[in-house]
Every structure is written in C-alpha cells, then in structure tokens.
Chains A and B, each alone.
Chain A
Amino acid sequence: MNSPIIHLGPLQLAIAAALVVALAVLTWYMRLAVSGRILIAAIRTVIQLLLLGLVLKYLFASSHPALIALIALVMLLVAGREVMARQHRPFRGWWGYGLGATSMFLSSFVIMLFALNFIIVPTPWYQPQYAIPLLGMMLGNTMSGVALTLDHLTQTAWRSRAVIEARLMLGEDWRSAMSELIRDSVRTGLIPIINAMAAAGVVSIPGMMTGQVLAGNNPMTAASYQMLIMFMIASGTGFAAVLASWLGARGLFDERQRLRLERLRPPVK
C-alpha cells in the first residue's frame, strides 16, 4: 500500500518560497527591519540544502570513509563557530572557539560512534546514509544546548563578579564559588531538549519521523528511529552542556583561582 513519494518540482518549491517573500514584504511594510534578514536566510537555506543534497548524493555513491570523516569534521567546525557566534561574551582567542567545539566533539561524536557500532550497526558502520544525518541532528541540537549553557555561564559570571569574589575571599575554591552558576547554566542548556522530549508526538511530530512517514516508511519504524534520535540528542546535549559549563567555568579562573573576566570578549554592538 506504500505509494511512491510525490516528487517536488521547481514550481511547487516556488509557490512555497512565495510565502516567505510575502512575509518579507509584510515585515518591510511594518518597518520591522528584518525583511532583509528573512530573505538572506531563505536564500541561504536554498543554497545550503542544494549543496547538502549534492554532497550527500556524491557521498552515498562513493562511501569513502575519509570523505565521510572530512564532512563530519567540517560539520563540527561550523557548529563550533556557531556556538561562539551565539554568545554575548565568548572567551577571547582560540578557546572561545575550542570550548564549544571540544565539548560537542567529546559528546556528539562519541555518542554517534557508540550508536553506530552498538545500536544501529549498519555495514559498514560508517555507512553515510546513517552516519551523516545522525551527526547532523546530534550537532544541530547539541550546538543550541552548548551555546545556551555557555551564554548563561559567561553572562551570569559577568554580572555576579562581586558575589563570586566575595566567596573566594572567604576561602571557597572556584568550584564551590561557581557551583550554583554551573548548575543553572547546565539547566538552561537542557531546557529545549527536555521540552522537545516531553512534547514529542503529542504537540509536535519531530522532523525525522515526519520525513520517514512522508517517504512511505512504516510509522512504527519511524517512531523507533525518532526515539533513538531523541535519546541520543538528549544525552549528547546533556553531556556536552555539563562539559562546556565545567570547562568554561574553569577557564574563568587562573592558576591562583582568581576570577579573570577580562578573558571574555566585550559584547559586539
């Protein structure tokens, strides 16, 4: 009873794109100063997804492990840059970049490798139809979680300088002086994925499941994959948030446990 998937041609996509153009016109008329950004973002979506389609098509045909590793690396590096860009006061220097990238690498990559080798087990385990979409979904969500965590951590530390230093003066070590702040930052980073898990299937039908159902797959298979993905994303985001908050908090102190807020970049106006 599986009907073949309905092909989307340029005309169908153009009609959908016309809706975004209509939105841009409306926001321009309302002087919201976002119409340009809406159009640029929409154009980026078109270019990036077309490129992704081409790359995946080529990748699925070749399945060369080095090529897959290269794509994965590029995805990680872009995610690291995105984490830095979403912070109000990121760390100066390479650590501003490396902090997010390291946390995401250590959680998303490890969990993806684990899932490919012990849960899904495609042959070969690095088969790109599985590896690349999994990594994409993991990184996309982990990225938001890490960015929220680090943004909360650095902003709150900036505002709480006097309290943190008062605690240091009383002889607390940096872990103790930062404990509430670290906890709050991790919680902030985890809220989106907790909400997503709680609402999954009732309020929202997650993207991956939608895709599989549209492609004519058995809804139960789609649900199983969605669960797997949700669990991977939740654990990946959680571990990355814990790691990022800890590394970030440590990075705010020097070897004599002095709070060094000048290590944060001033916000870009």
Chain B
Amino acid sequence: MPELILQELCVAHVGPVNLQVRAGEVVCISGQSGAGKSLLLRAIADIIPHTGILMLDSQAASSMSAPLWRRQVGLLPAENQWWHDHVQEHFVQRDTAMLNALGFNDATWQWQLAHCSTGEKQRLALLRLLSNQPRCLLLDEPTASLDPDSTVRVEAILKDYIQQQHTPVIWVSHALDQIKRVASRHFVLRDGGLEPS
C-alpha cells in the first residue's frame, strides 16, 4: 500500500512542510494565488530544487532515478502541454476504456491537438498521466477549465483510479464544493505552512 511522506520539505518561501498521505487518501490544498501550491507540487515531483525528504512506499526519492520517481508520483500541472501534432503520439499505452469514460471515442486518438478545446485537452492530459500508471497523484486544479459535466466525469475517473490503485493524492483546488466532495483532509497553504482547515 503506497504512502506518500514529506519530511521537512522546503522550496523557496514554502516550508518546512511535514505531511503523510496514506494510501487512497485525498489531501486537498487550497490557498491564495502565489501561496506556493504549484511550487509545492513541483518540488514533490522533483522538478525544481528543494530540501527535505520525499518518500513513497518507504522508498526515498533520492534512492531512485529522477525519471522513475516522477513516473511514480504523477503530477498533473495546471496548464497542460502538447508537443506532437496528434493525440496518439503523446501516448505510450492506449487505454480506450478510460478514453471512453472521459467522454471520447476511438477516433480521438487521431485528433489534431490544434483543433481540441481547452477542456478536451485538460481531460486528455489526465488520461495521458493515468496511462503511466502512477502510484501517487499530484493534481494541480485538474478541473479548473472544465464545464460541470466534464468535472463530474473527471472526478469519477479519479475516484475509480484512487480506489483501485490505493493511490495517495494531493489535490490542489479552489472550489470548496469540490473539496467537500473529494477530500479526506483539507489544508490551507498560508505563509509557507499547511494549516488544517
């Protein structure tokens, strides 16, 4: 059962943060813009320099290669990025069942990203992340650009994934109703520290 542990994590003006996220637990973090929520997630994914200890399933990030760590702690950034022309070129494994559950169909693999809407790209970015089979999820406002229908779909997909894989989750969100629906615990990031809400 994977468990995510942050010990004395410091990055820029954030920290030291100590947090333990159990398997299948969803910890929501909110806070004003500029509080350092994205910074914190990026530090956990080891994309930016930081101090402190990161552990997943009793294994320290420093004990494995950075790419392996990042594949295990899947980070979904607030702004999704695409670098090939077509959807399918961004996927190593294609999970058509999950594609359908997100409201797409088989033809979507051949879509050109230039013709996709913001919401479609956001859902495809989630699919791309989940097809990596991460053992932990770091979600940076995963439904920020979605309509209410898509938000429901995305929350359902995530709920299924978290229950099946018992993933610990850190979920950055501004929407209090969403936090009520998904959170096991809720913290506010203020003055560089996590305060229980």
Q: Which A residues are closer than 8 A to B by beta carbons?
A: 162-163, 165-173, 180, 254, 256-259
Contact with A along B52-73 (1 / 0, CB 8 A): 0000000000000111101100
Residues in A with CB closer than 8 Å to B71 are 170-171
- Tell me if B70 and A258 are in contact (CB < 8 A): no
Q: CB distance B80 to A166 under 8 Å?
A: yes
Q: Chain B 31-63 against A: per-residue CB contact (8 Å), 1 yes, 0 no?
A: 000000000000001111100000000000000
B70 to A171, Cβ gap below 8 A? yes
Given A168-B66, A258-B46, output 17 extra A-B contacts at Cβ < 8 Å: A162-B77, A163-B81, A166-B81, A167-B81, A168-B67, A169-B74, A170-B128, A171-B67, A171-B68, A173-B65, A173-B67, A254-B49, A256-B46, A256-B49, A256-B66, A257-B66, A258-B47
By beta carbon, the residue of chain A nearest B125 is A166
With a CB–CB cut-off of 8 A, which chain B residues contact A162?
77, 79, 81
Q: Does B129 contact A (CB under 8 A)?
A: yes
A225 to B86, CA, bound (A): 49
User: Given the known A-B contacts A170-B71, A172-B67, are A165 and B83 also in contact in the complex, defined by CB atoms under 8 Å?
Assistant: no
Closest-CB distance, A68 to chain B (whole angstroms): 47
B83, chain A: closest CB distance, angstroms: 5
In the complex, which range does the number of interface residues on chain B fall in?
20 to 34
B75 is an interface residue with CB less than 8 A from chain A? yes
B132 at the interface (CB under 8 A from A): yes
Contact between B83 and A180 (Cβ–Cβ < 8 Å)?
Answer: yes
Query: Can you spell out 15 A-B residue pairs with CB atoms less than 8 angstroms apart?
Result: A163-B83, A165-B77, A166-B81, A167-B81, A168-B66, A168-B67, A169-B47, A169-B74, A170-B74, A170-B128, A170-B129, A170-B132, A171-B67, A257-B65, A258-B66
- Tell me the complex Cα distance, A167–B71, Å: 10
Alpha-carbon separation in the docked complex, A172 to B46 (Å): 13
Note all chain B residues with C-beta closer than 8 A to A163.
Answer: 81-83
The reply to whether A169 and B66 contact each other, CB–CB distance below 8 Å, is: no
**If A163-B81, A165-B47, A180-B83 touch, does A170 touch B66 (CB 8 Å cutoff)?**
no
Contact residues in B for A165 (Cβ distance below 8 Å): 47, 77, 81
**Complex: how many Å from CA A257 to CA B66?**
7
In the bound assembly, the distance between CA atoms of A257 and B68 in angstroms comes to 11
